[in-house]
Amino acid sequence: MFDFEETAPVDLLADMHYIPLQDECMDSVLSIAVLEHTRLPWECAREIHRVLRPGGTAVICVPFLQSEHSVPHDFFRYTVYGLQSMLEWAGFEVESVERLGRQHRALAWMLLEMSKSSNRLVGLCTAVLATAIARRARTGNHLPFSVYTGSYAVARKPGIWKPCDAMDTSVKG
């Protein structure tokens, strides 16, 4: 597991634009709510592709309709089509792309943001309403053009996966 913040409890500190691992040394990569915080996410997708072994799998989850977070390091939002296009550009074979969090969750997030700037009673009522609405949220593949809060993709690096005895995770020379 790696992160770029020095205080993160991780095994490796690195910038995702350059992952300090050898080519084709990872079996799989899981990235949840990371690419929106990178300045060049398509280059990060290419780095993920580089470190995956042939046949390796990447699962990438990104936001679409969400409030800003980790400001000022919040740069991008992704449609399902943008996520698929970026992964294909990086060399992946995209197996599936799914929308997450329907309009109920998006509406709930907007209400929660509104409740932060309201007086205490209005804020509390808005938060209760938002929670009730969010509980009605459903996940799954929705019709095109529906409102959703994020998406995830499962993609593979072309090739045939072969196990190895030991991974050398030293930095490229």
pLDDT tens per residue across span 46-100: 999 999 999 999 999 999 988 788 889 899 999 999 999 999 999 999 999 998 8
* Domain 15-101+147-160: top CATH class: alpha beta
Band the pLDDT of 137: cuts 50, 70, 90.
Answer: low
Whole-model pTM: value is 0.78
Q: How far apart are the C-alpha atoms of 39 and 85, rounded to whole Å?
A: 17
Band the pLDDT of 170: cuts 50, 70, 90.
Answer: low
The per-residue pLDDT for range 3-42, each reduced to its tens digit, is 666 677 777 778 889 999 999 999 999 999 999 999 999 9
The per-residue pLDDT for range 105-121, each reduced to its tens digit, is 777 777 777 777 767 77
Q: How far apart are the C-alpha atoms of 130 and 146, rounded to whole Å?
A: 19
Tokens of 44: 């990060």
State residue 8 phi and psi, 5-degree precision: -70, 135
For residues 131-158, give the mean pLDDT.
75
Residues in the chain: 173
For residues 143-152, give the mean pLDDT.
77
pLDDT at 28: 93
pLDDT at 166: 47
Nearest to 99 by CA among 67, 45, 61, 136: 61
User: For the sheet containing 150-156, what is the strand order?
Assistant: 26-32, 52-63, 150-156, 93-100
- 24 touches 54 (CB < 8 A): yes
Nearest to 47 by CA among 93, 1, 92: 92
At residue 47, the 3 state secondary structure works out as helix
pLDDT at 49: 97
Nearest to 92 by CA among 159, 11, 24, 36: 159
